[in-house]
A and B are shown apart, each in its own frame.
Chain A
Amino acid sequence: MDMATRKWNKVVMLLVFVFPAFAFYTAFTLAPAFGGMWFSLTDWNGLNPVYHIVGLSNYAEAMGDRFFLKSLWFTAKFVLYMLVLQNVLAILLAVLVEALGRSKVWFRTIFFMPNMLSLIIGGFMWMFIFTRVFPYIAEKTGWMLLDQSWIGDPRYSFYAILALSLWGGVGYLMIIYIAALQGVPQHLKEAAKIDGAGAFAVFRNVTLPMIYPALTIGIFLTLNGSFKVFDAVYSLTGGGPGRSTQVIAINIFEEAFSFSNRYGYASAKAMILFGIVVIITIIQLAVMKRREVQA
């Protein structure tokens, strides 16, 4: 066998091995992605086979769409809260659980359990807590703080959605942080303690820098996940009352599938979401790279 045939054989084998995955990938990821870009430039309504190219007018309309902008703002607020609370809580739980003895396993099992469940199921269960259990407790104990319209009033339902999302998400990050903590060499902590550092100082100056890579992952996962939040809002408020708790994903979903069937317009909104995710990821990776080098 000469060199040329050998090389040719290698290429053929590569293609044969990659083909099945590539076929499915092209049909159900690549094609819809490019299709979305194309349809965002049209007035396609999903039913009518005839559609027209309308240029960037869908994008222009989205930028002036009051409800879309409101959903962007609502999502941004949600992401910010999640970013801080989810990571702080997960690190706190990871540190405290790791410090335990035999009961460690129990706590780990419990804290991760909600992550096994869909937030649709979790949302319905929390709905029961918010609309039945809390009012009941408030009535019996006079603890009126609990007696709010958790689902019906957008001021409170924001926190209800946040609580549900934290409930369903903290355990996952906790597992990642625990794995990172286990990688911190014990002798470094001992050395710092002998030098007279308190528990907090040890955490701040030894542990935290050592789990920096995990923090990158945690922040990345939170950002990515919470920008696309859908289930938690769908199951608790459905975006309501009215459209007051709509997040981007719900807004796109309704534009395409329930209110108007304007596929082209909804596609433009979806592309804006894509753009936001890409920009944030790039910024985040750049910032994190620089900090890791410094540390």
Chain B
Amino acid sequence: MSMFNEQINRAVRTQTNHSQVRMKSRIGSWLAFIFLLATAAITLLPIYMALLNSVKTQGEMLTNILALPTSLELGNYADAFRKTNYLRSLWNTIVVVIVGLTGIVLFSSMAGYKLSRTPGKLSGLLFGLFVMSTLIPFHSIMITLVRISKELKLQGSAVGLGMLYIGLGVAVAIFLYHGFVKSVPRELDEAAVIDGCGEFRLFYMIIMPLLLPISATIVILNTLWMWNDFLLPLLILTDYRSYTLLLSTNMLFGEYNNDWSAILASLVLAMLPVILLYLALQNYILHGIAEGAIKA
């Protein structure tokens, strides 16, 4: 009898233990979820507040900063649009990114491919020279870089800025291409050469399409970098007509220091293209980021 009781007791005890554990892990996952929600709220807070207050009048903003707007004050946007010269600034930014991307992708894929395929000292030396520089902080070269771009008359022009980005961006891109080319079978090169295909045709018709996955990663990483870079444009774009979105926004911020409604509207306008792009392409972007970081 006592044996039987003992057994039942033990069974009951394990039962409670189990449900306690389950209870604990359920509470744990609720706490985790609440923590994630709170962090997400903090992450979105500045963007939400900017959106919210960008459609209020200055007076309404002062009386209640947290409330929903009573009416849509789109005048702020018209103001910001005009003061930042939005379309021109957007266009300049696009020009910088397109010039930079074209050069980086075209030149680095060529160089990375050949360096990876050619054995020997010269090839190793050249590759080493490219890789070495990835350690150099931008601030260590910016002073002389400004001087050089002045000499070459690249200052004050979006195209010029794009060309500087080519020089600053090829090293990392070559490194990524160099690694990726190793996974492309050599037999392809040989077969094409036997078929009488010239070196350049071989590269552009056969190799380049095979490099597409790594090219996508490189495009994503470099677009983000050039689009959001501030210091180099600040130093190079001396002419306000060549200002990028960031520079125009920065200028507006400096000039209308306390007019927050106009400033917030300009911030929303500056964010808009990136956020839209992000929401449309986020899977590619997140994948590219992870790829790039792991390989580099």
Chain A residues within CB distance 8 Å of chain B: 10-11, 13-14, 17-18, 20-22, 24-33, 35-36, 39, 46, 93, 96-97, 99-100, 107-122, 124-126, 128-129, 132-133, 136-137, 167, 171-172, 175-176, 178-179, 199, 214, 217, 221, 227-228, 230-231, 234, 248-249, 252-253, 256-257, 263, 266-267, 270-271, 273-274, 277-278, 281
Residue contact A249 to B32, C-beta cutoff 8 Å = no
A residues in contact with B27, CB < 8 Å: none
Residue contact B133 to A256, C-beta cutoff 8 Å = no
Residue contact B136 to A253, C-beta cutoff 8 Å = no
A residues in contact with B143, CB < 8 Å: 32, 36, 39, 46, 252, 256, 263, 266-267, 270
**CB of A242, distance to nearest CB on chain B (Å):** 19
Residue contact A28 to B174, C-beta cutoff 8 Å = no
CA A129 to CA B47, docked complex, whole Å: 10
**CB of B249, distance to nearest CB on chain A (Å):** 7
A residues in contact with B230, CB < 8 Å: 118-120, 230-231, 234
14 A-B pairs with C-beta separation under 8 A: A10-B118, A20-B111, A28-B148, A29-B167, A35-B147, A36-B144, A100-B33, A113-B43, A118-B227, A128-B53, A167-B46, A176-B289, A228-B138, A249-B231
Query: Would you list which residues of chain B between 145 and 174 have a CB under 8 Å from chain A?
Result: 145, 147-149, 152, 163-164, 166-168, 170-171, 174
B residues in contact with A121, CB < 8 Å: 246, 249, 267, 270-271
CA A258 to CA B66, docked complex, whole Å: 38
Q: Is B15 an interface residue (CB 8 A)?
A: no
B residues in contact with A30, CB < 8 Å: 129, 133
A residues in contact with B118, CB < 8 Å: 10, 13-14
Residue contact A107 to B294, C-beta cutoff 8 Å = no
Q: Is B222 an interface residue (CB 8 A)?
A: no
Q: Is B35 an interface residue (CB 8 A)?
A: yes
Q: Is B126 an interface residue (CB 8 A)?
A: yes
**CB of A161, distance to nearest CB on chain B (Å):** 14
Residue contact B49 to A129, C-beta cutoff 8 Å = yes
CA A22 to CA B122, docked complex, whole Å: 14
Most buried by B among A14, A21, A107: A21
CA A152 to CA B71, docked complex, whole Å: 33
A residues in contact with B139, CB < 8 Å: 228, 230, 248-249, 252-253, 270, 273
Given contacts A11-B122, A107-B40, A231-B230, A33 and B130 within 8 Å (CB-CB): no
* Set A25, A28, A217, A271: member contacting B294, Cβ < 8 A: A217
**CB of A194, distance to nearest CB on chain B (Å):** 14
B residues in contact with A257, CB < 8 Å: 235
B residues in contact with A214, CB < 8 Å: 294
Residue contact A20 to B110, C-beta cutoff 8 Å = yes
* Set B43, B106, B144: member contacting A35, Cβ < 8 A: B144
A residues in contact with B263, CB < 8 Å: 124, 128
Residue contact B168 to A271, C-beta cutoff 8 Å = no
* Set A24, A110, A172: member contacting B107, Cβ < 8 A: A24
A residues in contact with B166, CB < 8 Å: 24, 28
Residue contact A13 to B114, C-beta cutoff 8 Å = yes
CA A234 to CA B246, docked complex, whole Å: 13
Residue contact B123 to A176, C-beta cutoff 8 Å = no
